[in-house]
Chains A and B, each alone.
Chain A
Amino acid sequence: MISAAIAIELRNLVRSPLRLGVLALLLLVGGAVILQGGRDVARWQEAIESGREAGEEVIEEARGYFAAGETGPADRTWVNLTQPRWQDSYAATRIAREPASLAGIAAASPEAGAVTMRSSRTADPMLENGAKLENPALAVVGGLDLVTVFALLLPLLVIALGLEIGGYERARGVLPLVRVQAGHDRRWLWARCVAVGAISSLAGVLLVLLASIVLGAGLADAGPLLVMVLAYVAVWTAILGVVVSIARDPSQGAVCLGAAWIFLCVIIPAIAAERSAALAAEDFGVDLTVEARDAGAALSRLSDEQIFEKLFERFPDLRAVAPEELASGRRIALQGLRIVGVEERLEQRERRNDQFTSLMDRASLASPTIAFTRVLEQLAGRGTEASTRFAREVAQAAARRMESYVRASWVGEPLDVEDFEQLVTDTPAGVLPPPAPWSRTLLTLLVWALGMSGLAWFLSQRRS
């Protein structure tokens, strides 16, 4: 029965300009956005490369001074590379947020922070802008990329292909004929739905393959994407099954499918976006701006003992090199506490972001479109998790720098080229996005697909 249904659906597809148009639109737009995604990743790589080159230039300059037995440039006599401060400054290599191999599928994602950052002891990863200069008027539209094509247009293909299933048979009185000839009219309707799902899946598979080739993603990266796309098509096929079970005529079927798409792809995401705006309403980043700027002044009111204790809490190894006369090391200790402040703020921010994560979790359960969009962004390494991980890595690198700066400053011995090279090699070159937790989303999508299939079965049972 399935093969007969597929043959019929293929014939319907070829004969209907509307269906063909939707399929062509999906494939054309999909192809175009994949190419656009490839260009976006190239720009990302360029930004990383130019950052690296800029960092390398400064490092080479310092190496040149060491090789010539100089402590710095002749026209800036105050620069002295034997001092920890200047070593840190010249060894400020860039840490890069490396793109995931599928980064191009989510090229329209809003910029999630910087893609490269100078790794010095004063680095603050929380207020850095991204590598792209964005026109907000274009950014607010939401952009078009493969994530949008899959999330919004692929269900429309399912709808366009399955628009008349069930309603057409009932309106024309075909179902009794099917029942007489094949015994089970429900099976016939389900077979047509599955055929529509198969054709839509094929379109999805084609786009996934094209994306893998253009973006150079291996099977390990493209596999989860493929699984997600198939699961998402399964959800929409099951939703089609529900509508097929209740539609009296094609017109009612069209309205029900349109309403389902609007509800799941527009209204629930809009409610979630509104909730997100409400969560963000009172956040003007005072902790990252005014409070962060004045934190130093508050620390300077602490006693020497308090300052040192606070510093040793974070860097216990520094206790061994602390000056006996605490007052003499106070200024450096205060500088050391700066990174402690950055880490505390980062932690607070991560805690604050938990409410957004929880919102996303709830919204993902309410709409398969949100769950699917979110996991695709995670697979593309563009989600919030990637920028959070990058910020954390930068803060850790800055903390290591700060520790070595404080130690060298307190020890007070002139530093040499080996110390400099140590600083350079201790800095991580790049940070990869965390692996996407796609199994959970797969479960959500499967629950949706099974739930909708169960509902369709129940409704068709009731009807018959």
Chain B
Amino acid sequence: MIGALFANEWRALLRDGRGIAMLVVGALLAAGASWTSVTTTEREDAARAAATHDARCAWNDRHVDSAHSRAHYGDYVYRPSGPLAGLDSGLQAVTGRVIYTEAHRQNDAVHRPQQSAASLLRFERLEPSTVLQLLAPLLMILAGFGVVTSDRESGRLRLLRIQGAGSMQLLLAKTMALWTIGAAICALTVVVHLFVASNVDVGRVVAFLVLHLALLWIVAAVITGVSARVGRSGTAAAVLLAIWVLGAMVGPRLVAMSADAAHPLPSRDAFMAAMQEDRAQGLDGHDPRDARRQALEKKVLAEYGVERRQDLPVRLGGLIMQADEEYGAKVWDKHFGALEEQMLKQDAFVSALSFLNPLQATGQLSMAVAGTGLASHLDFTRQTEVYRRDLVRKLNHEDAHGVQRNAEGRLQRTTTREFYAGFSAFEYRPLCVGSLLGGRVSELLSVGIWLLGASGFLLLTARRLDRRGVL
């Protein structure tokens, strides 16, 4: 019975010009968004590889300077686009693309080229995740707001009921018919991605597909339920569009604003000043009169069993720089750690409220699956800092130990071009989907609960229809 009803619904949707129009518009949006997004991401990856190559060439071609000069010269790390950025670019538009890694300081990511069209950053990009999370639900609403009301208004429902169709069977068939519109858009998006993208992470793509199919089922069930519960098609359209505006446009913005108000971040000036104050307690590698520097000098002299720095077999400067770096690392860990903690509190606030809004929960999960969410961004900055510390540590070690005393007893550098050529460029290792989704338990639960809740809503609506005989 349900199969026949489902086929019947599909025929009705196709007969109605609106259903066809929505399907065509959805297909165009899905294919267009998937294609442009993948090509943009691939151009971005190519440009990133070129920039990394340029930075590496600059490093290798530089004259053989002192290791400390090289630590100041530093290296540039370019943000990767993320394993599934072609489907969901996540936070990329609002995060800097370059981090300068150098001695003495941990820098922020800078350079956001899209800033030049800042007004457009207020709007979602036309990418697959936008199509599936915002536009496909909308198209389903426009195609299906009258899925029950128009049948009721035309008396077709009563006819179906007389022929033996149960309320639940009817609602389920209508929901499935609507869902297949969304599922078709979803499948097309993924298929185009698979065809166009040169590197495909199948596991992530499957997770992305399943997640959005679940969301679209929730949307289809809510549309059918609302359409069955209200009297007129116009009212159903108004209610469903209002729900969409609240869920897709107003809700997430309100939640973001509330999260910021509940857990405010310090201003950049205050943050930098606090860090500078703590930093001032450490060594100043460039200040020969600094008391802590003198204490370290004494310790090193004692370690090597000599009385004057001129007799040391190592360059004291390199050891001091490394000690300063280690102290600085503690300061940065403290301040950047606190900042990260505050961001995670904001994130937890948003997660907690995702139970109210499946669109928002899906958005967060989608970014997690794509490796373009907050966790991935923070992980990228952490890995960059690990790279920076390792780079500076090696250079400081070379600065201290890459020397020998000549016949006159003066220290001479023994650092070679090969030493610098031995450094490799930063390579980001993305977090696995499991760990990213593991950090999004609230959203997973939210989608699960909404999935059950929306299906339950259908069941309750069917019972209500049976009880009241509204059909």
With A136-B94, A271-B126, A294-B58 as contacts: A282 and B115 at CB distance below 8 Å: no
Is A152 touching B47 in the complex (CB atoms < 8 A)? no
Instruction: State in angstroms the CA–CA spacing of A116 and B33 once bound together.
Output: 39
Instruction: List B contacts of A283 (CB < 8 A).
Output: 47, 97, 111, 113
With A144-B254, A254-B238 as contacts: A273 and B126 at CB distance below 8 Å: yes
- 9 CB contacts below 8 A, A to B, read A22-B242, A50-B270, A135-B346, A253-B234, A267-B126, A269-B120, A276-B114, A359-B117, A383-B119
Most chain B beta carbons < 10 A, residue from A112, A139, A279, A284: A284
Q: Say if the beta carbon of A183 comes within 8 Å of chain B.
A: no
Closest B residue, CB atoms, query A373: B119
* Sample of 19 further A-B pairs with CB below 8 A, known A50-B267, A160-B238: A22-B242, A47-B267, A113-B115, A133-B265, A138-B346, A143-B253, A258-B241, A267-B126, A267-B135, A269-B122, A272-B120, A274-B40, A276-B120, A278-B36, A284-B97, A285-B113, A286-B54, A291-B54, A293-B73
Is A353 touching B116 in the complex (CB atoms < 8 A)? yes
Q: Say if the beta carbon of B225 comes within 8 Å of chain A.
A: no
Q: Say if the beta carbon of B350 comes within 8 Å of chain A.
A: yes
Is A282 touching B43 in the complex (CB atoms < 8 A)? yes
Binds B, one of A123-131, A204-212, A401-409, A425-433: A123-131
Instruction: List B contacts of A281 (CB < 8 A).
Output: 40-41, 43-44, 47
Is B113 touching A280 in the complex (CB atoms < 8 A)? yes
Within 8 A of A (CB), among B116-164: 116-127, 130, 134-135, 138, 141-142, 145-146, 150
- Which residues of A come within 8 Å of B, CB atoms? 18, 22, 25, 29, 33, 36, 43, 46-47, 50-51, 54, 75-76, 108-110, 112-113, 116, 127-144, 147-148, 152-153, 156, 160, 163-164, 167, 249-251, 253-255, 258-259, 262, 266-267, 269-274, 276-286, 288-291, 293-294, 297, 352-353, 356-357, 359-360, 363, 370, 373-374, 377, 382-384, 387
Q: How far is the CB of B55 from chain A (nearest CB, A)?
A: 5
Instruction: State in angstroms the CA–CA spacing of A281 and B49 once bound together.
Output: 12
With A112-B115, A136-B374, A281-B40 as contacts: A273 and B269 at CB distance below 8 Å: no
Closest B residue, CB atoms, query A352: B116
Instruction: State in angstroms the CA–CA spacing of A285 and B96 once bound together.
Output: 10
With A108-B253, A284-B51 as contacts: A135 and B374 at CB distance below 8 Å: yes
Closest A residue, CB atoms, query B61: A294
Instruction: List A contacts of B343 (CB < 8 A).
Output: 135, 137
Q: How far is the CB of A171 from chain B (nearest CB, A)?
A: 9
Q: Say if the beta carbon of B377 comes within 8 Å of chain A.
A: yes
Q: Per-residue 0/1 for B21-32: is the Cβ within 8 Å of any A Cβ (1 yes, 0 no)?
A: 000000001000
With A271-B126, A277-B114, A383-B118 as contacts: A289 and B94 at CB distance below 8 Å: no
Closest B residue, CB atoms, query A386: B118
Q: How far is the CB of B30 from chain A (nearest CB, A)?
A: 13
Query: Which residue of A129, A280, A288 contacts B114 across the interface (Cβ within 8 Å)?
Result: A280
With A127-B111, A139-B94, A254-B241 as contacts: A363 and B120 at CB distance below 8 Å: yes
Query: Which residue of B33, B51, B93 contacts A286 across the interface (Cβ within 8 Å)?
Result: B51
Q: Say if the beta carbon of B237 comes within 8 Å of chain A.
A: yes
Is B119 touching A282 in the complex (CB atoms < 8 A)? no
Instruction: List B contacts of A276 (CB < 8 A).
Output: 114, 117, 120
Instruction: State in angstroms the CA–CA spacing of A182 and B455 once bound together.
Output: 51
Q: How far is the CB of A396 from chain B (nearest CB, A)?
A: 21
Q: How far is the CB of B303 from chain A (nearest CB, A)?
A: 28
Instruction: State in angstroms the CA–CA spacing of A286 and B62 once bound together.
Output: 17
Instruction: List A contacts of B118 (CB < 8 A).
Output: 109-110, 112, 377, 382-384
With A134-B94, A251-B233 as contacts: A142 and B121 at CB distance below 8 Å: yes
Is A277 touching B268 in the complex (CB atoms < 8 A)? no
Q: Say if the beta carbon of B229 comes within 8 Å of chain A.
A: no
With A110-B115, A129-B110 as contacts: A137 and B347 at CB distance below 8 Å: yes
Is B120 touching A140 in the complex (CB atoms < 8 A)? no
Is B58 touching A293 in the complex (CB atoms < 8 A)? yes
Instruction: List B contacts of A278 (CB < 8 A).
Output: 36, 39-40, 43
Is A148 touching B122 in the complex (CB atoms < 8 A)? yes
Q: How far is the CB of A444 from chain B (nearest CB, A)?
A: 14
Q: How far is the CB of B113 from chain A (nearest CB, A)?
A: 4
Is B126 touching A274 in the complex (CB atoms < 8 A)? yes
Instruction: State in angstroms the CA–CA spacing of A199 and B409 once bound together.
Output: 90
Q: How far is the CB of B253 from chain A (nearest CB, A)?
A: 4
Is B111 touching A284 in the complex (CB atoms < 8 A)? yes
With A75-B289, A290-B76 as contacts: A131 and B250 at CB distance below 8 Å: no
Closest B residue, CB atoms, query A276: B117
Query: Which residue of B241, B289, B377 contacts A136 across the interface (Cβ within 8 Å)?
Result: B377
Instruction: List B contacts of A373 (CB < 8 A).
Output: 119, 122
Instruction: List A contacts of B73 (CB < 8 A).
Output: 293
Instruction: List A contacts of B113 (CB < 8 A).
Output: 279-280, 283, 285
Instruction: State in angstroms the CA–CA spacing of A156 and B245 once bound together.
Output: 9
Sort A-B residue pairs by CB-CB distance and give the 6 closest, nearest first.
A250-B234, A269-B123, A144-B253, A282-B47, A285-B111, A280-B113
Q: Say if the beta carbon of B210 comes within 8 Å of chain A.
A: no
Is B257 touching A273 in the complex (CB atoms < 8 A)? no
With A251-B232, A270-B130, A356-B116 as contacts: A136 and B18 at CB distance below 8 Å: no
Is B94 touching A163 in the complex (CB atoms < 8 A)? no
With A127-B110, A137-B346, A286-B54 as contacts: A142 and B265 at CB distance below 8 Å: no
Is A274 touching B339 in the complex (CB atoms < 8 A)? no
Instruction: State in angstroms the CA–CA spacing of A129 and B117 once bound together.
Output: 17
Q: How far is the CB of B289 from chain A (nearest CB, A)?
A: 6
Instruction: List B contacts of A272 (CB < 8 A).
Output: 117, 120, 123
Instruction: List A contacts of B254 (CB < 8 A).
Output: 29, 144
